[in-house]
Amino acid sequence: MDEIYMNVKPVPSKNQTVPRSSERRSHGVVVLCLGLLSVLLLAGLISLGVHYHVSAQRSAAELSSIKANLMERLQASDNKSSSLTAERDWLNASLVKMTEELNRLRGRPTCPTGWRMFKCVCYLLSNETGSWEKGKEDCGVRGAGLVVISSTAEQMFLSNFTREETHAWIGLTDKDKEGTWKWIDGGPLTDPLKYWREPQPDNGGGYKTLGEEDCAHIIIGKSDLHNWNDLSCNTLLRWICMKRL
Ligand SMILES: [Ca+2]
Ligand SMILES: [Ca+2]
C-alpha cells in the first residue's frame, strides 16, 4: 500500500453518533434529580408511617380509656341495681312489720295465712285427716291445740266453720275415765256448754264393731247447737286447731 493512504485518518460515516459533553452533563443532572426525588419520596413515606403509627397508638389508648370508663359505669350500674333490690326487699319486710304493728295498735290482730279469726282467736280446719291423737300433735306443732269450745257463740261459729265441709275432731275426750268428758286443756265439760246430738255420747251404743268411743267431733250439716258425737279415736277425720293472738 501507498504511504499517502497510511497517514489519512478514517472518516466516520453519516449514521454513526458521537456523544457530546453537553449531553453527558444533562444526563447526570437528570440522574441526580431522580435520586433526590427518590430520597424525598422515601422521607415522605417514613414520615407518613411514623404519623400513622403514632395516631394508631393514640386511638388505641383512647378506645381503651373509653372501654374502661364504660365498664366502670356498667359495674356501678350493677351495684346500684343490687342495692335497689336489697332496699326493695327491706322496704317490703318493713311494710309487713309496720302493717302488723298498725293492726296491733288499732286493736286488729291478724291470724296466720289460712287461719280464720273469731273474737281474737285463730282457728284452722286441717286439710288432711287422721286420728284424734294425730290432730292433737299437728295442732301442737303449729303452736296451737285442738279446739276448746267455751261459749255458745264459739259453738255457732265452729258449726258454720265446718258446715258442708266435713266432720272434725274437737279437743274433748273421756279417755281417762269413761263418761267423764274433759277438754284437752284439762277443763271439765260443764252445763250449759254441751252441744251433743241426741242420744250422744253413747260410747258406741253397745255395738262391739264400733268399739269404745272416747273422742268427740262435730257432725256436719246438723243443728248448730246439737252436733257433737263421740267416736272411736282412731277414726280418720279432719280436725280444728285454735290459738289465741
Ligand atoms: Ca267413751
Ligand atoms: Ca257416738
Task: Report CA(154)–ligand 2 centroid distance (Å).
Answer: 22
How deeply is 172 buried, as exposed, middle or buried, from its count of CB atoms within 10 A (0-12, 13-18, 19+)? Answer: buried
Instruction: Judge contact between 220 and 151, C-beta under 8 A.
Output: no
pTM: 0.57
Instruction: Judge contact between 230 and 200, C-beta under 8 A.
Output: yes
pLDDT digits (tens, 9 = 90+) for 50-79: 666 767 777 788 888 888 888 888 888 888
Instruction: Delimit the domains of the chain by residue range.
Output: 23-108, 116-244
Among the bound ligands, the one closest to the CA of 235: 2
Give residue 3's pLDDT.
Answer: 42
Instruction: Judge contact between 184 and 171, C-beta under 8 A.
Output: yes
Q: Please give the Cα distance from 123 to 145 (Å, whole number).
A: 10
pLDDT digits (tens, 9 = 90+) for 94-106: 775 676 677 667 7
Task: Report CA(69)–ligand 2 centroid distance (Å).
Answer: 82
Q: Please give the Cα distance from 65 to 62 (Å, whole number).
A: 5
Task: Report CA(178)–ligand 1 centroid distance (Å).
Answer: 5
Architecture of domain 116-244: Roll (3.10)
Contacts of 2 by beta carbon, 8 Å cutoff, 6+ apart: none
Most confident of 45-49, 51-55, 107-111, 237-241: 237-241
